[in-house]
Chain A
Amino acid sequence: MTKQDFSIIGQPLPKIDAWAKVVGETKYADDFFLPRMAYGRLLRSPHGHALIRSIDVSRARELPGVYAVITGADLPRVKFGILPVSQDEEALCTEKVRMVGDAVAAVAAVDEETAERACRLIEVGYEPLPTLMSIEAALAHPEIRIHEYGDGPNIHKNVALQFGDVEAAFAASDLVREDVFFYEGNTHLPMEQHAAVAHATPDGKLTLWSSTQTPHYVHRLLPRILDMPAAHIRVVAAPVGGGFGGKLDPFAHEIAACRLSQLTGRPVKIACSREEVFYIHRGRHPVLMWIKTGFTKAGDITGCHLKTWLDGGAYGSYGVASTFYTGVINPVTYKMPVYKFEGARVFTNKPPCGPKRGHGTPQPRFALECQLDKAAEQLGLDPAEMRARILAEPYTKTANHLTVTTIGLGECIDRVVEASGWREKWRGWRSASAGASTAPAGKRRGVGIAASAYMTGAGTAIYWNSMPHSGVVLRADRSGGVTVLCGATDIGQGSDSILAYLPAEVLGIEPKDVHVHPADTSLTPVDLGSYSSRVTLMCGMAAIQAAGRLRSVLAQAVAEKLEVAAESLAFRDRKVGVPDQWERALTFTQAVELAEARHGVLAFAGSYAPPKRAGKYKGGGVGPSPCYSYSACVVELSVDEETGEVELHDVWIAHDIGRALNPLLVEGQVEGSVYMGIGEALMEGQVFRKGLHKQPSMLDYKSPTTLETPDIHTFLVETDDPEGPFGAKEAGQGPLLPVPPAIANAIYHAVGVRCDEVPITPEMVLKGLELRRKGKPARIGPEKIPLFKFKEALMVESAFGRPADAVAVRPFAQ
């Protein structure tokens, strides 16, 4: 189909849920008020690492207004975790706490205030243990064990993969660079604090409404945690007030609300405070990185070797996947013939990290793109031209056996280079900054560029199975309306709207005619959740399949009535007919009635699972995706040499979206990603002191406001990917990736200071300027890497440059 053939696709339509949101009618989890509802609070540990010697809840139970008080003893003694390989969490800790904020007891009471007061009456006897608050400390003290499992003392995961001979590649290179980078951890900071309402009913069933991005995984975990049949549990994701990966794990407050509801016979709501949200977060891992890359004189990459150390925090969470993600997506952007990746995730006594927008990939992207900038300078190349020259080849495999389909990165780079006036600014201002050391201090302008790639949906589920990753049930009724049931969870990205647009497009009706019922495990077919940028592609493909099945039944009925061939029929403007006899066309409603009379109830299913393309090696399941999105970014900023402050002026970002199903929503995702990248680059950091978060409030944890967010110029590049719904790829995460390195590169361009660490604070810039004035290397960043033995690398032949499989086997496609 060409763009002109679409009626809905490509239109900047309002989201279907926008109207409720602008009048304040959208009901988030905290907006549920049920009759007889009790309010819960959790008692959390004040210690970073301690044994629990005793818990006395008797005084709390006696407080008037308290309905129930529970500890870990009131729950089955099982540990759980989102990944099958990391079952290390308890909703209420029984023997040991591993971070400040670990929950040890929960109260349900007549109101929050009473619950809070009851929590203060609970007496917990702790025996404090030494806390390990950094990668270095955790490695240096193997005698202090945070967990008893893993790949070594305080080592959660240790991986090593090698695809081809990197040492030989380095030996044959014109330039080999080794650099060390650090990316501080940060948090999602969704505007909505996590909340859950549980309602156990006298029939022995349980409903949980929660601000979760993955009702299915919560539904899968609860039966074991609560020791009750899955069939008697219903999980509903309320509209989520911002997720970014922070609502993807099963949380203590959800589980405690369920148990308290069972014990009290009342609905129980637990809404987390903002401080609690900072502690329970599962945000961006702090990652220390060593990267060695070889180049030819022309700027081609000959090979790359990356080592990453992730500060995982106190629990596994998604950490095994995060560890792989710090390595496996790197070879997707540029030609990288051979590649070696070693990664280790370390347990510390901090809140556990997990997936945040870009899951594990912004950190190595920062390292690689900053290193490319340094290499370009050494080689005397324009960093934009160098990148454009070394792009990965469409429809090939990477060194680590990932299949890449369409690549719009060349056009993305062209667009941002042209729009930003890159060539003039980069050449012109460079000479100015080169002389800056003698010029009087002032504000200096710079531009920086970076590029990136990201996956459009994980190719494998978090638990091994052969079922669909996304399913849709679509029903047409006699009103001419269509109902779509799908487990997809709208976290603001617009998945409900996609589920209306795509069937409307296929059936020739309006999005308003489509009623979407999402994210309810009792009603909707499974969708795995809003993570890994998978939703538009996967639920979109399922919706198109279901709508296509309805369309073909409608077409048969109309064809019979009009005595024409079914293939000759068009569906548009709420009518079905032959285009050159449009006056004879039937209304969509008439078509539904004819078809229902002929076929019976009109309900059809659509199923989607990604093509099976995982590399045939252990670990090959992380990284494959139906297709990859690409982004390029130019940042223009100025640096104040007096204060070290960085002021952003403009960000030009081009994103290969495959096809923009709704350009307005895609732009919104791109702009939001750029904004979040800016925060990570310049101000956001989760930092701790003696186990305590240093800034667990929105005032102290700095994030960009309207005043710090520059003008963002977005360009959408369409490549019509054969794997995506009407050609679409992801937009929600990838465009974050090039922003932090583009900022760091622009700061270097402005004042000649290399910041190999984010967030880049004014203090760091000033320190760099001071070094520069003294004639020393003006580099700020980590000086060394830990003494650490990675495991023996699994040697796999590089698949670089091999053609993509001609026909990808996609289950359920027929």
Chain B
Amino acid sequence: MKSRLSLSVNGEAHDVLVPVHKTLLEVLREDLGLIGTKHGCELGECGTCTVLVDGDPVLSCLALPADLDGQEILTVEGMAEGGRLHPLQQAFAELGAAQCGYCTPGILVTAKALLAGRPTPTRQEIKEALAGNLCRCTGYTKILDAVELASLRIGHSGVT
């Protein structure tokens, strides 16, 4: 059975006709062409597929789009504004926080949610916020460094 849904993703309205059991992850990737959000386990265990729903991190592999009517969804593709990278994206690139890059979109949006609520988190607070996002490449060190750098820069520039 298919249903017609209106989704607001990265500030754009989309009407989609999809099977009701299709997950948000599948709809984003297969129906909206937003491939930046990745499959990691399809079981809500690794954080790879994280997107923001009304600013909060949500595992898109467990979320059903039908539940998200009227809510604002943000994926990694929506982080840069007007061709300008978000400070987190800039810092992740500069500091080598993305190695294979597969976990990067999920970590970026999770970090964005953290900084929105807590602009100057401690390292321990960053660790706690990202504890649900697995990364097998970096040992997390450069990721934590990059979130700290972005936090510092946001503090100076006022970007959110």
Interface residues of A (CB under 8 A from B): 12, 14-15, 17-28, 30-31, 33, 188-193, 239-244, 271, 273-274, 491-494, 664-665, 667-668, 671-676, 697-699, 703, 705-707, 709, 711-712
**Which residues of chain A are within 8 angstroms of B103 by Cβ–Cβ distance?**
191
Selected contact of B76 from candidates A23, A31, A33, A671, CB within 8 Å: A23
Q: A22-B92, A22-B104 known; A676 and B40 CB under 8 Å?
A: no
Number of interface residues of B (CB under 8 A): 56
Decide yes or no whether B58 CB sits under 8 A from chain A. no
Q: A23-B77, A712-B139 known; A191 and B134 CB under 8 Å?
A: yes
Decide yes or no whether B131 CB sits under 8 A from chain A. yes
**Which residues of chain B are within 8 angstroms of A21 by Cβ–Cβ distance?**
92-93, 98, 101, 104
Selected contact of A699 from candidates B45, B98, B108, CB within 8 Å: B45
Decide yes or no whether B48 CB sits under 8 A from chain A. yes
**Which residues of chain A are within 8 angstroms of B138 by Cβ–Cβ distance?**
668, 671-672, 675
- The stretch among B29-37, B65-73, B151-159 that forms the contact with chain A is B29-37
B98 touches A22 (CB 8 A): yes
Among residues of B, the one whose C-beta sits closest to the C-beta of A277 is: B41
Q: A192-B38, A271-B39 known; A698 and B101 CB under 8 Å?
A: no
B85 touches A193 (CB 8 A): no
Q: A242-B136, A271-B39 known; A190 and B100 CB under 8 Å?
A: yes
Selected contact of B42 from candidates A189, A273, A712, CB within 8 Å: A273
B39 touches A30 (CB 8 A): yes
**Which residues of chain B are within 8 angstroms of A243 by Cβ–Cβ distance?**
100
B130 touches A706 (CB 8 A): yes
**Alpha-carbon distance between A703 and B137 when the two chains are bound, in angstroms:** 12
B99 touches A668 (CB 8 A): yes
**Alpha-carbon distance between A665 and B98 when the two chains are bound, in angstroms:** 10
Give 28 A-B contacts (CB < 8 Å), ordered by A residue.
A21-B101, A24-B76, A30-B38, A33-B33, A191-B102, A192-B38, A239-B101, A241-B100, A271-B39, A274-B43, A274-B45, A492-B100, A492-B101, A492-B102, A664-B95, A665-B96, A667-B96, A667-B142, A671-B138, A671-B142, A672-B137, A673-B139, A676-B139, A698-B41, A703-B136, A705-B134, A706-B130, A707-B128
B105 touches A24 (CB 8 A): yes
Among residues of A, the one whose C-beta sits closest to the C-beta of B135 is: A191
**Alpha-carbon distance between A712 and B34 when the two chains are bound, in angstroms:** 35
Since A698-B41, A712-B141 are in contact, a sample of 10 more A-B pairs with Cβ atoms closer than 8 Å, ordered by chain A residue number, is: A19-B85, A188-B136, A190-B102, A191-B135, A492-B100, A492-B101, A673-B139, A698-B40, A705-B134, A707-B128
**Alpha-carbon distance between A675 and B90 when the two chains are bound, in angstroms:** 24
Selected contact of B93 from candidates A22, A274, A667, CB within 8 Å: A22
**Alpha-carbon distance between A493 and B101 when the two chains are bound, in angstroms:** 10
Among residues of A, the one whose C-beta sits closest to the C-beta of B93 is: A18
**Alpha-carbon distance between A241 and B126 when the two chains are bound, in angstroms:** 24
Q: A19-B93, A712-B141 known; A705 and B131 CB under 8 Å?
A: yes
**Which residues of chain B are within 8 angstroms of A19 by Cβ–Cβ distance?**
85, 93
Contact with A along B104-137 (1 / 0, CB 8 A): 1100100000000000000000111011111111
A668 touches B136 (CB 8 A): no
Selected contact of A491 from candidates B45, B75, B100, B142, CB within 8 Å: B100
Taking the closest CB of chain B, its distance from the CB of A499, in whole angstroms, is: 16
A14 touches B93 (CB 8 A): yes
Taking the closest CB of chain B, its distance from the CB of A807, in whole angstroms, is: 37
**Alpha-carbon distance between A664 and B145 when the two chains are bound, in angstroms:** 12
**Alpha-carbon distance between A20 and B76 when the two chains are bound, in angstroms:** 11
Interface residues of B (CB under 8 A from A): 29-30, 33-43, 45-46, 48, 75-77, 79-80, 85, 89-90, 92-96, 98-105, 108, 126-128, 130-144
A193 touches B93 (CB 8 A): no
Taking the closest CB of chain B, its distance from the CB of A557, in whole angstroms, is: 36
Taking the closest CB of chain B, its distance from the CB of A610, in whole angstroms, is: 26
Q: A667-B96, A668-B138, A675-B140 known; A191 and B37 CB under 8 Å?
A: no
B93 touches A671 (CB 8 A): no
Taking the closest CB of chain A, its distance from the CB of B145, in whole angstroms, is: 10
B77 touches A493 (CB 8 A): no
**Alpha-carbon distance between A215 and B70 when the two chains are bound, in angstroms:** 45
**Which residues of chain B are within 8 angstroms of A709 by Cβ–Cβ distance?**
139-141
Please indicate which of the listed interface residues A26, A192, A706 has the most CB atoms of chain B within 10 Å of its own CB: A706
**Which residues of chain A are within 8 angstroms of B132 by Cβ–Cβ distance?**
705
A28 touches B102 (CB 8 A): yes
**Which residues of chain B are within 8 angstroms of A664 by Cβ–Cβ distance?**
95-96, 142
Among residues of A, the one whose C-beta sits closest to the C-beta of B106 is: A191
Q: A18-B96, A191-B102 known; A24 and B137 CB under 8 Å?
A: no
**Which residues of chain A are within 8 angstroms of B135 by Cβ–Cβ distance?**
191
**Alpha-carbon distance between A43 and B85 when the two chains are bound, in angstroms:** 44
Taking the closest CB of chain B, its distance from the CB of A744, in whole angstroms, is: 19
Q: A22-B85, A191-B46 known; A244 and B36 CB under 8 Å?
A: no
Among residues of B, the one whose C-beta sits closest to the C-beta of A189 is: B136
Q: A18-B93, A191-B40, A191-B48 known; A26 and B139 CB under 8 Å?
A: no
**Which residues of chain B are within 8 angstroms of A671 by Cβ–Cβ distance?**
138-142
**Alpha-carbon distance between A19 and B93 when the two chains are bound, in angstroms:** 6
Taking the closest CB of chain B, its distance from the CB of A160, in whole angstroms, is: 36
Taking the closest CB of chain B, its distance from the CB of A612, in whole angstroms, is: 33
Taking the closest CB of chain B, its distance from the CB of A46, in whole angstroms, is: 20
B141 touches A193 (CB 8 A): no
**Alpha-carbon distance between A191 and B38 when the two chains are bound, in angstroms:** 9
**Which residues of chain B are within 8 angstroms of A675 by Cβ–Cβ distance?**
138-140
B36 touches A25 (CB 8 A): yes
**Alpha-carbon distance between A23 and B39 when the two chains are bound, in angstroms:** 16
B101 touches A14 (CB 8 A): no
**Which residues of chain B are within 8 angstroms of A12 by Cβ–Cβ distance?**
96
Taking the closest CB of chain B, its distance from the CB of A164, in whole angstroms, is: 40
A23 touches B137 (CB 8 A): no
Among residues of A, the one whose C-beta sits closest to the C-beta of B104 is: A21
A672 touches B134 (CB 8 A): no
**Which residues of chain B are within 8 angstroms of A491 by Cβ–Cβ distance?**
100
Taking the closest CB of chain A, its distance from the CB of B1, in whole angstroms, is: 13
**Which residues of chain A are within 8 angstroms of B98 by Cβ–Cβ distance?**
15, 18, 21-22
Q: A27-B35, A192-B38, A698-B41 known; A668 and B101 CB under 8 Å?
A: no
